[in-house]
Amino acid sequence: MKMEFFQRKFWTASRQCAALDGKCSISCDNDEISCYLIDNNGFIVIAEDSSLTGVFFGEAEGAVMSKLISMGSFTRVNMYNYQATCRVYSEISDTAHKLLHPFFAVITSVQKLLAEFVILLIEFNLYSWWRSDLTAEARRGRRSMLVPCDMEYPAFMSERTIKETVGNIECEGCVRSFVIQQIPSSNLFMVVIDNECDCSEFGPVTLDPVEIIEATVTSLGVSARCFRETVTFQCGGRGVPELSKRKMGTALTGNLSRTGP
């Protein structure tokens, strides 16, 4: 099924609701409300603004998404990538590797000659020959490089038991209400929000990754560079063999003492 056809069917069904015994007093065509169809991970499937398709719901409706998270309708799940790459920037500076260049001595000599020539021109006050009112500030360039890093990626999952939820958001003396309802036999939810209040003060809820600067690592309750506390398996496996050796030594000692002369 193509996306365009699915969207047309959705909007057609939403408009037909008002004709069914007057059950719907308002439709998604009304400017006072906004209608969304999102999936169980919070991504927009259908919206009145087609450019929002595929966008995370929290970026379009940050206040509503924050309320859904606080109500337990959506749960945040952190995912980690310990083999990510981050781009770092550094100022271009002079380094000592130029001293190893074979033509460094020649270049240095030429620079000294040019310096003497400039001093000579200054002494004779000849700088006005090439003086110009157009000046430009010298800027040091910035170069970037990719380095290994650890990244944390936020993700969201809907509560499976949610069927229909009504919520209110207080925004600068105004109350903004919304309704979220699950589409039967699917992982989709329909969200209807009123547009009477401006809740931009809450800001968006994004999925931007965050670099993990310092992560705690533990090994058998002792701080060590072995494995991260968020990972269930060990990377070195050094502590367990040592513990097994101690137990084995104790057992052998006990057996020898019991079987002694």
DSSP 8-state symbol, 233: S
Output the tens digit of pLDDT for each of the chain's 261 residues: 688 888 888 888 877 765 555 567 777 888 889 999 999 999 999 999 989 999 999 999 999 999 999 999 999 999 999 998 888 876 555 555 555 555 566 677 777 777 777 776 676 665 555 555 555 555 666 678 888 899 999 999 998 777 888 999 998 888 999 999 998 888 999 999 998 888 888 899 999 999 888 644 444 454 444 445 444 444 444 444 444 445 545 554 555 445 545
pLDDT of residue 131: 55
Q: How many CB atoms lie within 10 A of CB 66?
A: 18
The pLDDT of residue 102: 56
Residue type, 174: C
Report the C-alpha gap between 93 and 96 in whole angstroms: 10
Backbone phi, then psi, for 133, in 5-degree steps?
-80, -15
Neighbouring-strand partners of residue 177: 168
User: By CB neighbour count within 10 A (0-12 exposed, 13-18 middle, 19+ buried), where does 156 fall?
Assistant: buried
d(CA 28, CA 7) in angstroms, rounded, equals 13
Q: Dihedral sign, CA of 106, 112, 115, 120?
A: negative
Alpha helices per DSSP H over the chain? 3-16, 57-60, 62-71, 104-123, 239-258
Grouping H, G, I as helix, E, B as strand and the rest as coil, residue 204 is coil
**What does the alpha-carbon distance between residue 253 and residue 220 come to, in Å, rounded to a whole number?**
25
Q: Which residue has the tokens 């701080």?
A: 223
CA–CA–CA angle 137, 140, 146 (5° rounding):
150
Q: Is the dihedral of CA 114, 116, 119, 121 positive or negative?
A: negative
Cβ atoms of residues 89 and 142 within 8 Å: yes
User: Coil, strand, or helix at residue 51?
Assistant: helix
pLDDT for position 226: 46
Q: What local confidence, expressed as pLDDT, does residue 142 receive?
A: 67
**What's residue 242's pLDDT?**
45
**pLDDT confidence of residue 163:** 82
**Regarding beta strands 164-171 and 33-39, do their DSSP bridges make them parallel or antiparallel, or are they unpaired?**
unpaired
